[in-house]
Structure 1
Amino acid sequence: MRVTGYRTLTTLHRWGRPIGDVNGSVASGVTAVPVVLVDTDAGLTGVGLGSHDGLEAVFPAILGEDPRAVVGLYDRMLATVFKAGHTGSVFGAIGAFDMALWDLKAKAADQPLWRMLGARDRVVPAYASGLDGPLDDDELLRLQASFADRGFGAVKLKGGLDLAGDLRRLELVRGVYAASGVTPRLMLDANEAWSRKEAVAYVQRLEEHVDLAWIEEPVRRWDADGHAMIGRAVRAAIATGENLTGLEQFRPLIQAGAVDVVQTGSVWGITHFLRVAMLAHAFDLLVSPVGYNANPLAHAAAAVPNHIATEVQDLAAPVGITVDQEVMEGSIVLGDRPGLGLTVDEAGIAALTESADWGSASGPHVRPGSAGRRLLAPRPPVCAPMPLASPCD
């Protein structure tokens, strides 16, 4: 079996709500989902989800190769862009191809990827998320009620700019789960919005009222000293890593004792996750992949010993993609379809005319000029005792 070519498609994910974080939002709730299809002379096609940028630069490394040599081909792709560098969109292209190659390898073996990777159990622990930054209280409650109905016991909210608002939202969400008889573990994701001192002050104030399982990306992704300082100053664990590309970017954080929960982005591929997971395991650290459409890293997460939970951002799949998995009892339950379990309706996707948004100037992928520079900004009051009213009575 040899790789003969690749094709690209772009489908949509309809979230049914505005999505975003402290950096920005997508009011339409409709985002683009890039799909990469890798064809072979055996008639099998591998499916990868991720960037279309940079594909041409790295494809020569896999053209004509046996896709079952996926780990070797991953390194071959890295070597192909040795001089130009493999960060950013190029690493995303490598990840998309890598995902498609793993899909092919498992399809050739007629096994689901989780089984081929050696997992004993198809049930992958997960936590509820939702990119809920722009939601009002009622919208947030409806979203989290849908997750609570699926048995989740851990929840991550977006936040970082409104202390009273974050506390109110955390308490509201805790109440949703309490109604189902669950005391949820709560996390807050700041998406690199703070400076070091802002982060310490903010989280310490939060922890006067609520226990946090972890605080995510409190400062810039590469700031090992900053993450370590914050970790020493707060009770919550520090989670970070979703935007790091390559083991060399994780090493300073791990060596500095700056991270407790090591994260990877799904769009960086299967091999990257497996390698980061083993690096983390060597230091007795937990690993948690961030969510992405169809939860493709759940297959790999099932096979590593230090996985704690995979982020689930939505309960629906992108348009034209059927996923062989269920979300139930707070977990992703993987199916038996060979490969990643993704079926792509190419004709249906090609017929789409609806526009999507994500990288606009007001979206979450554009860093605001005020990020990390709010030390003197006024903050709304925090009232006690809990629970808070809206915001203070």
Structure 2
Amino acid sequence: MRITGYRSIATVHEWGRPVGDVNGVIPSGITEVPIVLLETDEGLTGVGLGSHPDVHRVFPALEGQDPRAVTSLYDRMLSYVFKSGHSGHTFGTIGALDMALWDLKAKIAQEPLWRTLGAAERFVPGYASGLEYALTDDELVAFYERWAARGFTGAKVKGGLDIDRDVSRLTAVRDVLRVNSARPALMYDVNESWGAHQAVRLAQLVEDQVDLTWIEEPVRRWDVAGHRAVATGIRGAVATGENLTGLEHYRPLLDADAVGVVQTGSVWGITHFLRVSTLALAHSLPVSPVGYNANPVAHAAAAVPNHLVTEVQDLSAPVGLRVDQEIADGGIVLGDTPGLGIEVDEEKIAAHTAPGQWSAVTGPHVRPVDAGLRLTPRGR
């Protein structure tokens, strides 16, 4: 079997509510979901999810190759772009293609990817999440009640600007989840909105009132000293890594003992997650992938020995995607459909006209000019 070509399409995910974080909110709750379809000479098609604007530049590394050689092809893609580097959009493109390659490899084996990767169990422990920064307090409670009904015992709350509001919302979510656990796990994500000059103080203010399982991205993603200061200054763990693109970005943080929970971005692909997991295992640390549409990295999470928990952000799938998995019992129950278990209905996608708003200039991917440069927390 040989790789012959690719097609790039896009659908949307309709969240049914505003979504975002401290850096910005999408009021419509409609976000883009880019899809790359990797074609072969035997009719099988691999599905990869995630932004891939550099696919025209990276694909020549795959053309004519046997898709079963996934890890070798991953390194081939990295080698193909080494002069200009592999961060940003390029790393996202490699991740989407890598996901499609793994989908093909499992389809060739006629088994779900979690089987191909050596997992013994189809269940992946999760925690509830959902980019819920814009929800009112009542809406937040109603939102997490749906997760509590599905057995979840942990949840992540977005914050970073208003400490009093954040504490109130963390407390409310804790109380919702107490139906399933006397001591629910609470994750607090400030999305790099604090500066090193204030991170420890603000984290301690929150932790004095709420028992935090972890605080996520308290400072800039590359700030080793800042993460280390927070890690030594609070009782909970520091979680970070979702925006790091390559092992070389993780090593300084891990070597400095600045991280307690090692995260990976799902959009960076399967091989990236597996390699980061191995690096984390060598440091006796757990790994946790952040959420993404259709939870594709859950297949790999099921197969690594140091997986802690996977972020699950929504109960529905993007328009035109059928996903063979169930969100139940506090996690993801993976199905038996070969590959990632993702079926693409291109006719349904083509008939859908509502545009996504993830690329809007208001964010949430756009960092505010005063982020990390505030002396005190402030309201929204």
1:359–1:366 CA contact under 8 A, matched in 2: no
**Aligned residue identity for 1:122:** R
Unaligned runs of 5+ in 1: 381-393
CA RMSD in angstroms comes to 1.0
**Alpha-carbon shift at residue 352 of structure 1 (Å):** 1.6
Per-residue CA deviation, residues 282-318 of structure 1 (Å, 9 max, x unaligned), is 0000100000000000000000000000000101100
1:296 aligns with 2:283: no
* Runs of 4+ residues deviating >2 angstroms: 178-183, 377-380
Name the counterpart of 1:59.
Answer: 59
2:266–2:290 CA contact under 8 A, matched in 1: yes
Aligned residues with identical type, % of pairs: 63
Name the counterpart of 1:44.
Answer: 44
Whole-Å Cα distance in 1 between the matches of residues 279 and 377 of structure 2? 41
Name the counterpart of 2:112.
Answer: 112
Unaligned runs of 5+ in 2: none
Q: Secondary structure at the match of 1:263?
A: strand
**Aligned residue identity for 2:295:** N
**Aligned residue identity for 2:241:** G
**Aligned residue identity for 1:195:** G
**Aligned residue identity for 1:18:** P
Whole-Å Cα distance in 2 between the matches of residues 224 and 378 of structure 1? 23
Name the counterpart of 2:309.
Answer: 309
Name the counterpart of 1:164.
Answer: 164
Whole-Å Cα distance in 2 between the matches of residues 221 and 321 of structure 1? 32
Name the counterpart of 1:373.
Answer: 373
Q: Secondary structure at the match of 1:197?
A: coil
Pair 231,273 (structure 1): closer, same or farther in 2 beyond 3 Å: same
Whole-Å Cα distance in 1 between the matches of residues 199 and 72 of structure 2? 41
Name the counterpart of 1:387.
Answer: none
Per-residue CA deviation, residues 7-35 of structure 1 (Å, 9 max, x unaligned), is 01110100011010000000000001000
**Aligned residue identity for 1:255:** D
Q: Secondary structure at the match of 2:197?
A: helix
**Aligned residue identity for 2:84:** A
Work out the number of aligned pairs and report it: 379
Pair 378,76 (structure 1): closer, same or farther in 2 beyond 3 Å: closer
1:13–1:32 CA contact under 8 A, matched in 2: yes
Query: TM-score, normalized by length of structure 2?
Result: 0.98
Whole-Å Cα distance in 2 between the matches of residues 190 and 85 of structure 1? 28
Farther off after superposition, 295-304 or 181-190: 181-190
Mapping 1:149-160, distance limit 5 Å:
149-160=149-160
Per-residue CA deviation, residues 80-113 of structure 1 (Å, 9 max, x unaligned), is 0010110000000000000000000000000100
Name the counterpart of 2:178.
Answer: 178
**Alpha-carbon shift at residue 196 of structure 1 (Å):** 1.4
2:98–2:271 CA contact under 8 A, matched in 1: yes
**Aligned residue identity for 1:128:** A
**Aligned residue identity for 2:106:** A
Name the counterpart of 2:85.
Answer: 85
**Alpha-carbon shift at residue 366 of structure 1 (Å):** 0.1
